[in-house]
Amino acid sequence: MDMLTRLCCKGTRKRCLLLFGVLYLIFAIALVRNSNNFDDSLPLVENNYEIVSRKNGYPSNHISPIKEAAKALAKEVVQIKPISKQADYLQPKNLSSKPLTQEKSPDTLCKSLPKPTFLEPGKRPLTALHSFPGSGNTWMRVLLSSLTGYNTGDIYKDGAFAKTPGFSYRKDDTVVAVKTHHPFWDDFNGADPAAPAGRYWERAILIVRHPLDATISVFNFFGTHGSHTRVAKLEKFLLPNGKPSKSWEKFAHDQIRNWGRCLEYWINIFKGKILIIFYEDLKVDLKRQLININNFLGLPLDETRLNCTIESNMQQKFHRNQNIDKRILYDTSMLNEVEVVLDNVKILLTTNYTHIDETFSMPASYASNLIRENFSVKPDSEKHP
């Protein structure tokens, strides 16, 4: 070092810089020769690559400066794997490739539908939703409001459904249809007094249920103080000896006749357009009947609402669970009354009325000749000593 200092001091500045340059070159050559001691076949960690070990799968970035150790390490190398720009532990594991925003489930979609609203006044015909009591009018109102997205009306102002979505007390053309049992409660020879002043029904949906079932249903309504889902006690129907009670016997005869008279009124006297829907068909093929009703109303069919209406109907919120056998409730005189009424109604429905929509067909159970056959074999519960 002293010698180098003396040389620089005695010489010029250029000579000193040249000397330092030569020394730097010698030092660089020595470094290059030392690097040749490594095996050129060994993949080094560079350019964002990592070495993966065969034995345990863990990355190994250690490179020994000793040649023998470097060769041993190279034997374990099986592949070179690119290192991701972001560390693996920062990436979510086992997640689906689907976007976070997924389609709503059918249940969620139905619950998100807007609540029923009112129609614009003066734009649509005033529509009656008629049925004999106990024939599913309340059930139909639920279906209608769900299917169309519009409220239904009620001329009786039944407080039991004051807060039910789709139900209102209106009886005008701002609702899709208005519940009525006329002429059951009124004069059979006059117009419906419940219709809005100065207006009459312009069209009607008639819900028809077999008189044997409808009569039992309306008796349950009165026997439970106006409940739409409860069932009257059996002793209200039958005496201890198994025979019909006086109250039930008189009620059944009267209501079977009224059932026929209600249909006669709407078919013979009412001149507006009529759609007949059988209760039994609703239970067998609800979708087809809902489409027929929607077409009759002249509303665009909403497939989502149609499917949601069918789905929600499975919950059976407005049905009575009654397991009583009809064969122990009706005696011979009652069955004779039913046969006469059904024969008259069949004549009415097969007459060529231009104001009746012809999309219906009477269910086979309405054939009067089947009544006697179905009641010919009495259940064991009716056999008394």
What is residue 308's predicted lDDT score, i.e. its pLDDT? 95
Radius of gyration of the chain (CA): 44
Helix (H) or strand (E) holding 19: helix 13-35
Which is nearest to 334 in space by CA: 264, 265, 269, 255? 255
Average pLDDT over residues 319-341: 84
Residue 44 reports pLDDT greater than 80: no
What is residue 198's predicted lDDT score, i.e. its pLDDT? 46
Q: What is the pLDDT of residues 284-323, one digit of tens each?
A: 999 999 999 999 999 999 999 999 999 988 765 656 666 6
96 DSSP assignment: -
Phi/psi for 145 (5° steps) reads -65, -35
What is residue 55's predicted lDDT score, i.e. its pLDDT? 42
Three-state secondary structure readout of 195-213? CCCCCCCCEEEEEECCHHH
Query: Which residues does residue 180 pair with via DSSP β-bridges, in sequence order?
Result: 130
pTM metric for this prediction: 0.67
How many helices and strands (H and E) does the chain possess? 13, 7
| Angle value at C-alpha 307, between 301 and 309, nearest 5 degrees | 90
